């Protein structure tokens, strides 16, 4: 059934992204079971020389007739499913056991994921688990995305000669990608350093920090539309990004599975240094846009985050648990009259983004603990799991915090992480 050979590594890596990576926004590919020959790649990390993409792991196989025996492939696919604890696969550290778990490590599995969704109607796509609140029992089939690869796109698009265009597979760790980009001189992501999660999860949440949102650096996202069984590339506009939101987050669970993200990073880099914490950091003292380096900003951001935020490996958390609410100017003026030290940031449209952490602290919740959960003592935006917490306790704490802020400021807080229901019928 399998026809194996060992092709040239660099050509194979380039062929992978040319065929399946994020490409022109109009490109849509249908991969229907039994109709399309797929290239199956098993690879580790991509590394770069000046102009050539190389792969560290030379043990590649290319399968040109992978779909010739759907019955055997489906059998292999089913054998890859297993019941699994997700305790270590969510940064909050909540105990969770899934019905079945599949690790997606090859694009050849995508048509079978669509077939599985039609059989079970209960798929849940899980990346790094950094922005989810999981139930104790997840009666769904969980797909863990483990696609890897980073590739510099050589051909420049018209009007985009002044940028680097890089395709990154969805399973890459976000911070690893930021470090790699910075080390290679592809600047623009350094303000987003040390954010937990994967590359594939970054556009879902439209992650942001220290004056930068990931939407500012994305050209397109390539994703598998699970119900229709096709690969689709969405432009930045089509992703419908808003503050901590996107088309992927708003869609019904089991609709999209992000495969890769194409980043657009400027060759004429302009550092973003207007965030107060960066301006006050001693590592950047006296630095200007002309003298600072991307690595210096990355290092400063990492130090700030490590000082303010708990390490999920030590104390379970999902980073910021609440969004910073955006209010009209009239409401901001009213609040400012009552609270002269109100922390807020003017927005381009005339509205104001309020600092949720400041409001939570002023409401008396910073550092408070309720049993196995609590509000972090250095960053009030962060809810933590001290160990053995149940999801009900965490959500109960979140509701208490929201109620207190609403009572004092008249501003509702919205949770950032996605609360995952235990079954599709509860969605």
Catalytic residues: 244, 320, 416
Crossing angle of helices 174-183 and 294-308, rounded to 10°: 150
- Give CA–CA dist 43/410, Å, rounded: 52
- Give CA–CA dist 427/124, Å, rounded: 11
Residue 360 CB neighbours (<10 A): 26
- Give CA–CA dist 418/342, Å, rounded: 28
3-state helix, strand, coil in the chain (%, to 5): 30, 25, 45
Q: Give the position of tokens 């104001």.
A: 352
Using alpha carbons, select from 69, 79, 67, 14 the residue that is nearest to residue 43: 14
Residue 352 vs residues 80, 206, 345, 346, 347: alpha-carbon distances, Å: 49, 19, 5, 5, 5
Return the SS3 of 332. Answer: helix
- Give CA–CA dist 211/393, Å, rounded: 33
- Strand 382-385 relative to strand 316-320, pairing: antiparallel
Using alpha carbons, select from 72, 53, 251, 260 the residue that is nearest to residue 148: 260
Using alpha carbons, select from 126, 148, 132, 137 the residue that is nearest to residue 43: 148
- Judge contact between 356 and 383, C-beta under 8 A: no
């Amino acid at each position: 059934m399998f026809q194996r050979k060992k092709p040239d590594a660099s050509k194979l890596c380039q062929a992978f992204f040319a065929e399946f990576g994020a490409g022109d926004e109009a490109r849509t590919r249908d991969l229907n079971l039994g109709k399309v020959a797929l290239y199956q790649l098993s690879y580790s990390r991509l590394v770069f020389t000046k102009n050539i993409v190389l792969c560290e792991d030379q043990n590649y196989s290319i399968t040109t007739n992978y779909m010739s025996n759907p019955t055997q492939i489906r059998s292999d696919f089913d054998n890859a499913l297993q019941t699994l604890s997700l305790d270590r696969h969510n940064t909050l550290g909540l105990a969770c056991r899934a019905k079945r778990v599949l690790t997606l490590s090859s694009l050849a599995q995508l048509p079978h994921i669509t077939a599985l969704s039609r059989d079970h109607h209960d798929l849940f796509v899980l990346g790094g688990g950094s922005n989810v609140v999981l139930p104790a029992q997840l009666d769904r089939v969980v797909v863990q995305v483990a696609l890897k690869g980073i590739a510099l796109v050589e051909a420049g698009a018209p009007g985009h000669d002044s940028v680097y265009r890089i395709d990154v597979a969805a399973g890459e760790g976000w911070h690893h990608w930021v470090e790699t980009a910075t080390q290679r001189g592809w600047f623009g992501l350094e303000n987003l350093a040390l954010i937990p999660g994967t590359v594939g999860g970054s556009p879902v949440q439209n992650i942001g920090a220290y004056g930068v949102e990931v939407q500012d650096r994305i050209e397109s996202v390539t994703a598998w539309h699970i119900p229709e069984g096709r690969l689709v590339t969405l432009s930045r506009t089509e992703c419908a990004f808003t503050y901590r939101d996107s088309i992927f987050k708003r869609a019904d669970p089991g609709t999209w599975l992000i495969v890769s993200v194409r980043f657009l990073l400027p060759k004429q880099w302009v550092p973003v240094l207007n965030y107060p914490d960066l301006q006050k950091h001693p590592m950047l003292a006296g630095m200007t846009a002309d003298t600072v380096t991307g690595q210096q900003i990355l290092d400063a951001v990492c130090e700030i985050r490590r000082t303010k935020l708990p390490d999920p490996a030590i104390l379970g958390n999902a980073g910021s648990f609440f969004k910073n609410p955006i209010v009209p100017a009239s409401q901001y003026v009213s609040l400012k009259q009552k609270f002269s030290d109100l922390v807020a940031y003017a927005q381009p449209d005339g509205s104001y983004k309020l600092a949720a952490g400041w409001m939570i602290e002023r409401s008396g919740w910073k550092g408070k603990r309720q049993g196995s959960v609590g509000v972090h003592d250095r960053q009030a935006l962060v809810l933590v799991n001290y160990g053995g917490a149940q999801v009900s306790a965490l959500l109960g704490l979140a509701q208490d915090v929201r109620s207190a802020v609403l009572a004092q400021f008249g501003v509702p807080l919205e949770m950032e992480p996605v609360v995952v229901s235990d079954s599709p019928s509860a969605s």
